Every structure is written in C-alpha cells, then in structure tokens.
Amino acid sequence: MITRREAAQILDIPLEMAHRHNIPSRLSDAELGELLDNPPQWLVQSKANRTGKRPVWVQLTCAVCGFSEAARPKKWWPDFSYVCCAHHAPYEIPALGAGLVRSEYEGVGSRFVGIVDVAVPEA
C-alpha cells in the first residue's frame, strides 16, 4: 500500500490534483500500476500541459546528514547550491569557497535551509 502523497510523486502531479481526482488516501501497487499503464484523460492532459520550466516535485537532501524528502518547489526558491537541515550548527555546513558570497533561505521543505553560494562580482 502507498499513500496518496507517494502516488502523486510517482504520477508527477500535485497532491491537490490527486485529491481532486479522487485518488484514495491509500492505494495498492496494482491500483497505481493501473493508473500508470492506463492513465485517465485528466492525467494525460496534465502531462501534456507541462511547460517543463519547473518540476512538480523535487528531492531535497541535507548536505550534512543525508536526510531526504520530496517537496513541491516554490516560485521564490532560487537554484540552491545545497540544502541542509535547519538544526545543524554553522560549522557543520560546507565551508564557503573563496570569492563566493552566501545567502540562506529558511523554510525550504519541512525542515531545510536553502544555501546559495555565488561569485562576488568584480568591481
């Protein structure tokens, strides 16, 4: 048995869409296989409407401890250099390279801080 959230990730659709189209809160591997092998028209249309600009789901993995979760990317998320769990101490986070400046974004996924390291512009 898998959850509706897991099914949404496998089908590459938002959780809200899975709920709207009555995907049950738990479904068997056979039921998921049927959706994959014979997708309903709404699922076919959803995949056809994709622009490819932003993924539906991303895998966030902590650069320190390896904890990982799937999350829906937000419009405000930049391209993170990496993410780490919010509870890690600053000395545990990978060091900032020479000539780089760091920005941190809290509230990424359920427990992450997004890190963006970019080159300092030359004057």
DSSP state of 22: T
Q: For residue 22, what are the domain limits? A: 2-48
For the cut 80, the answer to whether the pLDDT of residue 41 exceeds it is yes
Is 53 within a domain? Answer: no
> Do residue 44 and residue 62 come from a single domain?
no
Query: Is the pLDDT score of 55 beyond 90?
Result: no
Beta strand 100-108 with 68-71: parallel, antiparallel or unpaired? unpaired
Residues 22 and 74 in one domain: no
Residues 41 and 73 in one domain: no
As a whole number of angstroms, the distance between CA 35 and CA 41 comes to: 11
Q: What is the pLDDT of residues 18-27, one digit of tens each?
A: 999 999 999 9
pLDDT in tens, 88-112: 998 999 999 889 999 999 999 999 9
Pair 35, 85 in one domain: no
The per-residue pLDDT for 62 is 97
As a whole number of angstroms, the distance between CA 80 and CA 70 comes to: 15
Angle between helices 4-11 and 29-37 (to 10 degrees): 30
pTM: 0.75
How long, in residues, is the chain?
123
